[in-house]
Amino acid sequence: MSIHDCYLLDLPQITNPRGNLTFIEGGVHVPFEIRRVYYLYDVPGGAERGGHAHKALQQLIIAMSGSFDVVLDDGREKRRFHLNRSYTGLYVCPMIWRELDNFSSGSVCMVLASNLYDEGDYYRNYQDYLRARGLR
């Protein structure tokens, strides 16, 4: 799994002068069954989130409101994505280190996840992560 297995994904959009609508069906518009949804909000300016990798979890990250950046890192390469559309998600495969920063005021980051919360699924130390990838 490398950052090349992560990608931006456009969700369906029903546009209407009265307002636009986007929907997401697990296993259809995202490549996994959705077992958990969480969101970050009231993020103070300059704050950074993330700073970990997941062993098995798959995620789709969406800027529901405002904007922020997601930096993906597979231990060899890094790529920065700027998310600012509520119909575009960033698919993140397992074993990718991620950091989120550059949050605009009032932004909301929604994450769809393939499994329930499990602290045992995290690498929270970058050196441990690199070791698990065989890069140290």
Which spans of this chain sit near ligand TYD (rule: CB under 6 A)?
36, 38, 40, 49-50, 52, 117
- φ, ψ at 53 (rounded to 5°): -130, 160
3-class SS of residue 5: helix
**Choice between 21 and 78, CB closer to ligand TYD:** 78
Nearest approach in angstroms of CB 124 to ligand TYD is: 7
52 an active-site residue?
A: yes
**Choice between 13 and 49, CB closer to ligand TYD:** 49
**Terminal Cα distance for the chain, rounded:** 17
Structure tokens at 135: 């890069």
Nearest approach in angstroms of CB 26 to ligand TYD is: 16
Q: Are strands 88-92 and 7-10 parallel, antiparallel or unpaired?
A: antiparallel
Nearest approach in angstroms of CB 73 to ligand TYD is: 14
- In terms of Cβ atoms closer than 10 Å to its own Cβ (0-12, 13-18, 19+), residue 130 is middle
**Choice between 22 and 59, CB closer to ligand TYD:** 59
Nearest approach in angstroms of CB 44 to ligand TYD is: 13
Residue among 4, 52, 54, 82 flagged as catalytic = 52
**Choice between 12 and 26, CB closer to ligand TYD:** 26
CB-hemisphere CA count at 13 Å for 108? 7
Could you list the active site residues?
52
